[in-house]
Copies of this chain bind each other. A is one copy, B any other.
Amino acid sequence: MNSEKPILYNYFRSSSSWRVRIALELKKIEYEYKPINLIKEGGEQFTEEYTKINPKQEVPALKIDGQLLVQSLPIIEYLDETRPDGVQLIPKDPIKRVKARIIAEIINSGIQPYQNANVIKKIAQETQSEEKKMEWIKFYLTKGFRAIESALVESSGKYCVGDEITIADLCLVPQVYSAFRFNIDLTDFPNVRRVYAELEKVPEFIKAHAHRQIDTPSELREN
């Protein structure tokens, strides 16, 4: 293991960045926060400087143990496997493990790809319609939350899978934040709302929140 402080290239509001921030907090790993503004001047992820660091031109990217890791779920699995301290993010029990990973993946591959900034921009361009863009977002978020809710009915306790925090919870919180941002109605998803309300109280989740990062714009900043 390399002893240098890990560097997280990320953006305050990127939901996959946010998942990794929660993981780093829960695993008690100190890290350096390097903001990459995905919006400013067409996106800092496309600059020559950042492309040298991460040719995939995306966040999050975590420099750790001499590696540059991308993709939030593999990063979280890696942190959990190589760092015994803090919360166990992937449960030990095989059935709980798979249930936690399924919920994480419903969000990661089943919702997030349809609402990320680049895709939404593309949809707005293709359809030339703000209304159609919002319909697109609403369609995929509502469909996704229906799948999460049906999983939570079966697996949730205090958190997404039983009463311990897992990788699923790290994905749920930024996704619910996006739902609020896009005015998605969560009335029909009581388990989602209940688990989210629990997670909002956890100190590590508070610290990793989009509204409390060094690149959070002042109008959104909370203490």
Contact = CB atoms under 8 A, between A and B. Distances in A.
Interface residues of A, number: 39
Most buried by B among A55, A67, A105, A114: A105
A65 B93 CA distance: 14
A78 B91 CA distance: 12
Most buried by B among A81, A98, A123, A127: A98
A69 B98 contact: yes
A81 B67 contact: no
A71 B123 contact: no
A147 to B, nearest CB: 5
B55 A77 contact: no
A95 interface: yes
Give how many copies assemble into the complex: 2
Contacts of A95: 65, 67
Contacts of A189: none
Nearest to A74: B101
A55 B110 CA distance: 15
Contact of A113 (B67, B73, B94, B114): B114
Interface in A88-136: 94-95, 97-98, 101-102, 104-106, 108-110, 112-114, 119, 122-123, 126-127, 132, 136
Contacts of A106: 70-71
A73 B75 CA distance: 15
A139 B125 CA distance: 14
A223 interface: no
Nearest to A108: B109
Interface of A: 55-56, 65, 67, 69-71, 73-75, 77-78, 81-82, 94-95, 97-98, 101-102, 104-106, 108-110, 112-114, 119, 122-123, 126-127, 132, 136, 139, 147, 150
